[in-house]
């Protein structure tokens, strides 16, 4: 009943997002064999903390397998008794892989094919009392009996795992649900997210990804789907109906599916195109033919892909006079229109039409003539052909200075009259445009692509002299001699495509094809915020459980104290303490005093980026990527120098893609938003003084990075044998983890390296200083592994002490895990045997 009620509540609060969710791709794209092993994607549920279980534990999710080699890992479960369950695609005979469950050293094959190119439901059901695991993969059920009794908790992750090989299935995952004893306790959609963090819909629990690629991000940034360099002759056409690209060469055609990435090849057995140079080919979906055209010669050659025959029997060797012309299709008269271009040192303003089924191109007269230009974008709305941007001059000759055309023109195709819709007097933008643009009637605007910043999607408004950038730039190197810069739309598949075929000085082609999904979104629409209602419900449940657990624990301690009072010499202390859980397979851990609180009024940079307000609410989701970067930048540079960072330097780092005025405006807006958010955190402020920006801290706000540097500095000033309290404070704060381990930007590397070096050097020194304090050395070694998983000094110290304590099995387990991590990371075996570590 509770489970059904919770599902209804989730549905109710999700109604506002249904429109976006229904029209967007979402899920986590796992990087697989195409990247190095250490850059493959992983996803840890509940930040790798275990789920407490009693009997039934069910994981449901959907997966999409890409058309790539399908060997590798999908899902990993690890129990408190160190039993491992992996759902994998295993290698079979005749290059046919198959789904399988690997439990410890045994494997259970699932007799079914691997489904690709569609969303497949998967359900893994563990019944602890019955020692039974049920797997349902695409409606195929498999059951196996394994020893599960004694399982108290389970850790769950997807993709790359330290407990398995580095191979990851090329897959997308979404809609992960965790059900425990009939109650839905987690639901990660994996759509909206915060960098590498996605929160579940039930209680805001964290799923943490490494090297993530979120499918919803394909709605705000271009993704490269194809690249090629060739010295062969090449032209590219697009079939909008089926989202197919035709890469037309001299003797063959490669057909690329823009959705699946699949490719096939057909031969050209006869005839010649009308133009052998790039940028002169289209695909006609009405006749299902490729059309090669020459505007100067007014020739057309048609090719049926099935037959592989061009209609022209004579080879045409003329060079083009209309490079980079604008082109578009008019459905009302079933004609393609072409405008402008460049060739033989001249800019053009001719208008041509190619009617479907005709064997010749015809020139269309219009008045008054538009100034000659190339690299314009064209679209048809009603009876008018709209032309935007381009470069040229009124003389049409290269001997005169060329300039960008900051105007939108229109030619009425029925009357032959042209007009200037609007003209902008001054601008600094590069208006070299892709050849086509697409009309959006909802706000009377055009989607167009500019070469600025190596390719960026713009929205150009019909009724106002305004254009705005609506995608992240591609930043493709623009060095070329000639180019085909074509923009396409495939409405049926909700995708926009961009072809950049750069012809270099040696006449070789450097081709890249990009896609972006529609509807287009902005950063704010994909950033996830905490659902306060569900979070508060979850908080009340958590508090109740904690209070109940605390009462039971207190009664237990009182009972134990009465039994052992004659052996104890205790000292009363009101300091808060944290009791670390005891792992039965690992050494016992003593009670450790807790000094710091990151649960409220806190800015955390160690481990995962996190911000808590004065009331303890997690407001990390309110920080857009730009706000997050600005806050991190200010904190790091303020700790480096009290002055902070030069305002100009901060602008150059975070807004390098903007012009000076635009960058300044964006910076000021972002600073204002940051100050508003910091007011929620507590008494901390952003100060602008003498051309510098810095963070000014006051009482009551905690920053772990700042505290770490302060404690380490004090410890060094006091010498290696400083007081135990300061030592424990350092160990506690270093246990939080490395600096921003899941945030990857170039300018951050310097700070990460510096903090890692500082932490590792200190911990290595402490291993030597504390060598006779076994408990402390074990604690230091574990923390050192957190900062440097391949640290051999930590391995030697931990194994030596475990061996001295008689825990040889645990020492062997520690050593084996290290060897596996070493091989996975470096690709070679660890050469020092275990016996050499504790001599």
Condensed to tens digits (0 to 9), the pLDDT of residues 187-208 reads 999 988 888 899 999 989 999 9
Confidence of residue 748 (pLDDT cuts 50, 70, 90): confident
Same domain, 452 and 471: yes
Q: Nearest to residue 832, comparing CAs of 786, 808, 799, 805?
A: 799
The arithmetic mean of pLDDT across residues 42-71, rounded, is 92
Domain contains 794 = yes
pLDDT tens-digit readout, 61-72: 999 998 888 889
Same domain, 783 and 801: no
C-alpha to C-alpha distance for 146 and 125, rounded to whole angstroms: 13
pLDDT at residue 306, rounded to an integer: 86
Asked if 28 contacts 212 with a C-beta cutoff of 8 angstroms, the reply is yes
Highest mean pLDDT among 58-62, 191-195, 316-320, 797-801: 58-62
Same domain, 777 and 819: no
- The CATH number assigned to the domain holding 42 equals 2.60.120.200
Which tokens is 67 given?
A: 């058309």
pLDDT at residue 168, rounded to an integer: 93
Q: Nearest to residue 281, comparing CAs of 229, 332, 316?
A: 316
pLDDT tens-digit readout, 331-366: 999 999 999 999 888 999 999 999 988 889 999 999
Same domain, 195 and 256: no
Query: How far out from the chain centre does Cα 714 lie?
Result: 39
Same domain, 597 and 485: no
pLDDT at residue 152, rounded to an integer: 92
Asked if 767 contacts 777 with a C-beta cutoff of 8 angstroms, the reply is yes
Examine the pLDDT at 572 and tell me if it is beyond 90.
no
Domain contains 550 = no
C-alpha to C-alpha distance for 467 and 448, rounded to whole angstroms: 9
The arithmetic mean of pLDDT across residues 148-170, rounded, is 88
Contacts of 388-392 with C-beta under 8 Å, sequence gap 24+, read 388/431, 388/433, 388/437, 388/446, 388/448, 388/460, 389/431, 389/432, 389/433, 389/448, 389/450, 390/326, 390/340, 390/431, 390/432, 390/433, 391/347, 391/431, 391/432, 392/340, 392/342, 392/347, 392/349
pLDDT at residue 787, rounded to an integer: 84
C-alpha to C-alpha distance for 528 and 191, rounded to whole angstroms: 9
Same domain, 148 and 243: no
pLDDT tens-digit readout, 379-393: 999 999 999 999 999
User: Of the given ranges (21-25, 260-264, 636-640), which has the lowest mean pLDDT?
Assistant: 21-25
Domain contains 763 = yes
**Do the strands 702-703 and 602-604 form a parallel or antiparallel pair, or are they unpaired?**
parallel
pLDDT at residue 81, rounded to an integer: 82
Task: Quickly count: other Cβ atoms within 10 Å of residue 230's Cβ.
Answer: 12
pLDDT at residue 426, rounded to an integer: 64
The arithmetic mean of pLDDT across residues 117-133, rounded, is 91
Same domain, 671 and 710: yes
C-alpha to C-alpha distance for 695 and 638, rounded to whole angstroms: 6
Examine the pLDDT at 721 and tell me if it is beyond 60.
no
pLDDT at residue 618, rounded to an integer: 84
C-alpha to C-alpha distance for 746 and 742, rounded to whole angstroms: 13
The arithmetic mean of pLDDT across residues 268-273, rounded, is 93
Which tokens is 705 given?
A: 């990075």
Examine the pLDDT at 685 and tell me if it is beyond 50.
yes
Same domain, 394 and 455: yes
Domain contains 527 = no
Domain contains 179 = yes
pLDDT at residue 120, rounded to an integer: 93
Same domain, 706 and 796: no
Rounded percentage of the chain residues whose pLDDT exceeds 70: 88
Examine the pLDDT at 520 and tell me if it is beyond 70.
yes
Same domain, 186 and 233: no
Asked if 511 contacts 503 with a C-beta cutoff of 8 angstroms, the reply is no
Domain contains 559 = no
C-alpha to C-alpha distance for 311 and 445, rounded to whole angstroms: 39
Which tokens is 164 given?
A: 């398995």
Confidence of residue 376 (pLDDT cuts 50, 70, 90): very high
Rounded percentage of the chain residues whose pLDDT exceeds 90: 35
Examine the pLDDT at 44 and tell me if it is beyond 50.
yes
Among candidate residues 165, 187, 220, the one where a domain is terminated = 220
C-alpha to C-alpha distance for 596 and 130, rounded to whole angstroms: 43
pLDDT at residue 533, rounded to an integer: 46
C-alpha to C-alpha distance for 234 and 512, rounded to whole angstroms: 13
Among candidate residues 476, 502, 520, the one where a domain is terminated = 520
pLDDT at residue 547, rounded to an integer: 55
Domain contains 533 = no
C-alpha to C-alpha distance for 656 and 89, rounded to whole angstroms: 44
Find the helix or strand (DSSP H, E) in which 300 lies: strand 299-304
Task: Quickly count: other Cβ atoms within 10 Å of residue 50's Cβ.
Answer: 16
pLDDT tens-digit readout, 7-34: 433 343 343 443 444 446 799 999 998 8
Domain contains 15 = yes
C-alpha to C-alpha distance for 693 and 648, rounded to whole angstroms: 10
Examine the pLDDT at 708 and tell me if it is beyond 90.
no
C-alpha to C-alpha distance for 334 and 323, rounded to whole angstroms: 23
Asked if 231 contacts 507 with a C-beta cutoff of 8 angstroms, the reply is yes
C-alpha to C-alpha distance for 350 and 337, rounded to whole angstroms: 11
Examine the pLDDT at 532 and tell me if it is beyond 60.
no
Q: In the predicted model, what is the mean pLDDT of the chain?
A: 83
Examine the pLDDT at 757 and tell me if it is beyond 80.
yes
Examine the pLDDT at 368 and tell me if it is beyond 60.
yes
pLDDT at residue 592, rounded to an integer: 54
User: Of the given ranges (330-339, 442-451, 813-822), which has the lowest mean pLDDT?
Assistant: 813-822
Model pTM?
0.58
pLDDT tens-digit readout, 85-116: 999 998 877 778 889 888 877 788 888 889 88
Same domain, 315 and 419: yes
The arithmetic mean of pLDDT across residues 638-644, rounded, is 87
Confidence of residue 766 (pLDDT cuts 50, 70, 90): confident
pLDDT at residue 540, rounded to an integer: 47
**Residue in the block written with tokens 């590397």:** 749
Q: Exposed, middle or buried, 235 (CB in 10 Å: 0-12/13-18/19+)?
A: buried
Among candidate residues 486, 504, 520, the one where a domain is terminated = 520
The arithmetic mean of pLDDT across residues 276-303, rounded, is 91
pLDDT tens-digit readout, 656-667: 878 888 888 888
Number of domains in the chain: 4
Asked if 483 contacts 341 with a C-beta cutoff of 8 angstroms, the reply is no
Examine the pLDDT at 563 and tell me if it is beyond 50.
no
pLDDT at residue 495, rounded to an integer: 92
Examine the pLDDT at 630 and tell me if it is beyond 80.
yes
Contacts of 721-726 with C-beta under 8 Å, sequence gap 24+, read 721/769, 725/595
pLDDT at residue 559, rounded to an integer: 45
Same domain, 742 and 614: yes
Domain of residue 282: give its range.
223-520
pLDDT at residue 550, rounded to an integer: 54
- The CATH number assigned to the domain holding 392 equals 2.120.10.80
């Amino acid at each position: 009943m509770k489970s059904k009620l919770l599902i209804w509540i989730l549905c109710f609060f999700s109604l506002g997002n249904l429109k976006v969710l229904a029209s967007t791709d979402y899920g986590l794209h796992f990087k697989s064999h195409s990247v190095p092993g250490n850059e493959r994607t992983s996803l840890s549920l509940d930040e790798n903390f275990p789920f407490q279980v009693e009997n039934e534990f069910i994981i449901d999710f959907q997966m999409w397998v890409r058309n790539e080699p399908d060997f590798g890992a999908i899902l990993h479960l690890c129990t408190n008794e160190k039993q491992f369950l992996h759902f994998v695609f295993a290698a079979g005979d005749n290059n046919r892989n198959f789904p399988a469950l690997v439990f410890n050293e045994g494997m259970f094959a699932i007799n079914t094919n691997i489904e690709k190119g569609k969303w497949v439901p998967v359900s893994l059901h563990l019944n602890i009392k019955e020692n039974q695991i049920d797997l349902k993969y695409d409606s195929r059920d498999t059951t196996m009996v394994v020893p599960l009794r004694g399982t108290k908790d389970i850790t769950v992750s997807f993709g790359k795992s330290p407990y398995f090989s580095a191979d990851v299935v090329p897959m997308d995952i979404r809609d992960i649900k965790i059900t425990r004893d009939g109650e839905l306790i987690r639901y990660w959609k994996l759509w909206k997210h915060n960098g590498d963090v996605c929160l579940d819909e039930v209680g805001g629990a964290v799923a943490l990804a490494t090297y993530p690629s979120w499918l919803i991000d394909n709605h705000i940034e271009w993704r490269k789907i194809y690249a090629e360099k060739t010295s062969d002759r090449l032209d590219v056409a697009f079939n909008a109906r089926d989202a197919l690209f035709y890469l037309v060469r001299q003797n063959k055609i490669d057909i690329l599916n823009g959705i699946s990435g699949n490719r096939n090849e057909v031969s050209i057995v006869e005839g010649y195109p009308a133009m052998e140079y790039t940028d002169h080919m289209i695909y006609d979906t009405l006749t299902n033919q490729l059309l090669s055209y020459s505007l100067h010669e007014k020739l057309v050659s048609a090719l049926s892909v099935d037959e592989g025959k061009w209609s022209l029997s004579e080879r045409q060797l003329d060079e083009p006079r209309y490079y980079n012309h604008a082109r578009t299709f008019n459905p009302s008269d079933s004609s393609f229109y072409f405008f402008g271009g460049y060739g033989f040192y001249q800019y053009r303003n001719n208008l041509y039409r190619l009617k479907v089924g005709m064997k010749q191109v015809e020139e269309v007269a219009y008045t008054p003539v538009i100034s000659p230009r190339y690299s314009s974008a064209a679209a048809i709305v009603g009876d008018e052909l709209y032309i935007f941007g381009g470069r040229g001059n009124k003389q049409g000759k290269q001997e005169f200075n060329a300039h960008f055309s900051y105007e939108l023109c229109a030619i009425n195709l029925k009357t032959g009259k042209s007009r200037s819709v609007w003209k902008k007097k001054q601008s600094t933008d590069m208006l070299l445009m892709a050849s086509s643009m697409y009309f959006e009637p909802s706000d009377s605007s055009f989607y167009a692509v500019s070469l600025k910043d190596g390719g960026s999607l713009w929205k150009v408004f019909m009724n106002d002299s305004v254009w705005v950038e609506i995608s992240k730039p591609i930043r493709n190197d623009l060095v070329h001699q000639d180019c085909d810069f074509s923009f396409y739309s495939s409405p049926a598949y909700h995708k926009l495509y961009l072809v950049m075929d750069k012809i270099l000085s040696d006449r070789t082609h450097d081709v890249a094809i990009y896609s972006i999904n529609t509807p287009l979104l902005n950063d704010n629409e994909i950033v996830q915020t905490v659902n306060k209602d569900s979070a508060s419900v979850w908080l009340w449940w958590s508090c109740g459980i904690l209070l109940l657990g605390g009462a039971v624990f207190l009664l237990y301690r009182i009972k134990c104290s009465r039994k052992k009072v004659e052996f104890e010499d205790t000292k009363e202390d009101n300091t808060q303490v944290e009791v670390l859980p005891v792992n039965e397979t690992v050494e016992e851990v003593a009670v450790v005093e807790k000094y710091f609180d990151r649960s409220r009024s806190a800015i955390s940079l160690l481990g995962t980026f996190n911000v808590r307000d004065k009331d303890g609410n997690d407001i990390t989701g309110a920080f857009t990527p730009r706000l997050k970067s600005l806050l991190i930048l200010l904190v790091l540079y303020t700790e480096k120098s009290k002055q902070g960072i030069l305002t100009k330097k901060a602008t150059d780092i975070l807004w390098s893609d903007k012009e000076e005025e635009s960058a300044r405006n964006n910076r000021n807006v972002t600073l204002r938003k940051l100050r508003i958010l910091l007011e929620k955190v507590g008494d901390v402020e952003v100060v602008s003084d003498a051309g510098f920006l810095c963070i000014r801290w006051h009482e009551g706000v905690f920053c772990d990075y700042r505290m770490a540097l302060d404690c380490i500095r004090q410890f060094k000033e006091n010498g290696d044998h400083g007081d135990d309290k300061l030592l424990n404070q350092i160990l506690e704060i270093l246990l939080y983890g490395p600096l921003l381990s899941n945030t990857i930007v170039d300018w951050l590397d310097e700070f990460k390296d510096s903090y890692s070096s500082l932490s590792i050097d200190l911990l290595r020194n402490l291993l030597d200083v504390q060598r006779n304090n076994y408990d402390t050395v074990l604690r230091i070694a574990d923390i050192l592994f957190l900062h440097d998983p391949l640290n051999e000094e930590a391995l030697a110290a931990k194994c030596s002490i475990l061996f001295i304590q008689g825990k040889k099995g645990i020492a062997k387990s520690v050593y084996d895990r290290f060897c596996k991590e070493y091989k996975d990371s470096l690709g070679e075996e660890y050469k020092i045997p275990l016996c050499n570590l504790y001599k």
